[in-house]
Amino acid sequence: MGRPADAYNAFRRRIFPAFHGILDVLIGGYALSDTPPEEYVGTLRCSEPEVEAMLSSVGFTRNVVASLKVRVDGNVSDGSWVYRESLLADHQLHAILHRTEDGVETYAHWEYSSIRHPYRHYLAREYDAEKGVRLMRSVLEGATESHGIAWTTVPRHQRHTWYIDLLRTVSDGVALRVVGVRDRFTGGLTEESPGIVQRAKSALR
């Protein structure tokens, strides 16, 4: 039987693309956003449940309202976690998990709290990738050893997405077309069956 977190992530992949389309049309909003390479923290050589257990032990909580993150190569986030010093803290440290063949790649950024300042958070005001990465690496340095988790910071040119990042400096559209992200995730960011938006579009043709 799958973990509840797996079911939740599958739900997000199915529903959020539909929300994204609606928000984009109505208010220019979003429910999907990219995970930029600047947010890369490190690659943890373990399973996702082990990473989640570690994050939970140091005060992170699952970020249930975060937009679904998608890397330019089409890899969809498998977990979104947040740390706040208190429930009403002004800022939060947001960590994003992406499963890969090498383990779990962790990304992070510092931002306004979605609880205390939802509007500023949504507009990404005072968003800071550099600070988020620095703080998250500090978290990993202090927590991974006690949990028996090995992790490394893989240089950008050695990550499997380096060539796509290079293409992005020329054009996001070119990068997306080269890796076929739009074609690969025609089912609402899942590969199994058409999502809500795709089914609606097909019905209207």
Q: What is the pLDDT of residue 178?
A: 55
Query: Where does residue 105 fall: left (phi above 0), alpha (psi -120 to 50 degrees), or beta otherwise?
Result: beta
Q: How many domains does the chain have?
A: 1
Average pLDDT for consecutive 10-residue bins of the chain (205 residues)?
Answer: 49 44 37 78 96 97 79 80 95 94 94 89 87 98 96 84 62 57 41 37 45
Q: What is the pLDDT of residue 152?
A: 96
What percent of the chain has a predicted confidence (pLDDT) above 70? Answer: 61
Count the neighbouring beta carbons within 10 Å of the beta carbon of residue 18.
17
Distances (CA, A) of 16 to 137, 160, 192: 29, 26, 16
Q: What is the pLDDT of residues 100-131, one digit of tens each?
A: 888 999 999 999 998 999 888 777 889 999 99
Q: What is the pLDDT of residues 78-90, one digit of tens each?
A: 888 999 999 999 9
Range of the domain at 128: 4-204
Q: Quote the distance between the C-alpha of residue 110 and its chain's center.
A: 14
Place of tokens 């740390």: 83
Q: What is the pLDDT of residue 134?
A: 98
